[in-house]
Amino acid sequence: MTSETNGEETGPTDRHGAEERHPLDAPFFGAISIRSVALVILASIASLYFIDWAQPVLLPLVVAVLISYALDPLVSVFDRIRFPRPLSAALVLIALLGIGVAAGSPLKQEAMALLDKIPTAVQEFQRRESRSPDEESLMEKAQTAAKEIEETAEKSRAAQIPTKPGVTPVQIVDKSMDIQEYVIRGSPAALVLVTQCFTVLLLVFFLLSVGSLYKRKVVRISGPSFGRMRKATRILNDLHFQVRRFLFVMLISALFVGVLTWLAFLALGMEQAALWGVVAGIASGVPYLGPFLVFIGTGLAGFVQFGELNMAIIVAVTSLVITSIQGYLLMPWLTSYMSSLNTVAIFIGLLFWGWLWGPVGLIVATPILMITKSLCDHIANLRPVGELLGK
Q: Is 99 helix (H, G, I), strand (E, B) or coil?
A: helix
Quick one: pLDDT at residue 28?
A: 42
pLDDT digits (tens, 9 = 90+) for 257-279: 889 999 998 888 888 788 888 88
When pLDDT is cut at 50, 70 and 90, the band that residue 369 belongs to is confident
Given the DSSP bridges, would you call strands 8-12 and 2-5 parallel, antiparallel or unpaired?
antiparallel
Please give the average per-residue pLDDT across 285-298, as a whole number. Answer: 83
On average, the pLDDT of the chain sits at 75
When pLDDT is cut at 50, 70 and 90, the band that residue 8 belongs to is very low
Give the CA-trace dihedral at 369, 286, 282, 200, to 10 degrees. -60
Q: Are 312 and 306 in contact (CB under 8 A)?
A: yes
Which residues in 50-82 are b (16+ Cβ under 10 Å) and which e? eeeeebeebbbebbbbbbbbbbbebbeebeeee
Quick one: pLDDT at residue 154?
A: 65
Question: Which residues, at least 6 apart from 365, have a Cβ–Cβ distance to it below 8 Å?
Answer: 287, 346, 349, 350, 352, 353, 354
pLDDT digits (tens, 9 = 90+) for 345-365: 888 888 888 888 888 888 888
Query: CA-to-CA distance for 244 and 70, rounded, in angstroms?
Result: 7
Query: CA-to-CA distance for 218 and 243, rounded, in angstroms?
Result: 18
* Model confidence at 21: pLDDT above 70: no
Please give the average per-residue pLDDT across 197-205, as a whole number. Answer: 88
Q: pTM above the 0.85 mark?
A: no
Say if residue 224 is preceded by a cis peptide, omega within 30 of 0: yes
Query: CA-to-CA distance for 192 and 59, rounded, in angstroms?
Result: 13
| Helix runs in 269-308, H state only | 273-283, 289-306
When pLDDT is cut at 50, 70 and 90, the band that residue 16 belongs to is very low
Question: Which residues, at least 6 apart from 250, have a Cβ–Cβ distance to it below 8 Å?
Answer: 285
pLDDT digits (tens, 9 = 90+) for 219-262: 888 777 777 888 888 888 888 887 888 888 888 888 898 899 99
**Above pLDDT 70, what percent of the chain?**
69
* Model confidence at 105: pLDDT above 60: yes
Question: Which residues, at least 6 apart from 259, have a Cβ–Cβ distance to it below 8 Å?
Answer: 277, 281
Q: Are 284 and 254 in contact (CB under 8 A)?
A: yes
Please give the average per-residue pLDDT across 165-181, as a whole number. Answer: 54
Query: CA-to-CA distance for 209 and 89, rounded, in angstroms?
Result: 6
Q: Are 143 and 129 in contact (CB under 8 A)?
A: no
Rounded to 5 degrees, φ, ψ at 9 are -90, 130
Q: Which is higher by pLDDT, 162 or 190?
A: 190
pLDDT digits (tens, 9 = 90+) for 309-349: 888 889 889 988 898 888 777 776 776 666 677 778 888 88
Q: Is 131 helix (H, G, I), strand (E, B) or coil?
A: coil
When pLDDT is cut at 50, 70 and 90, the band that residue 7 belongs to is very low
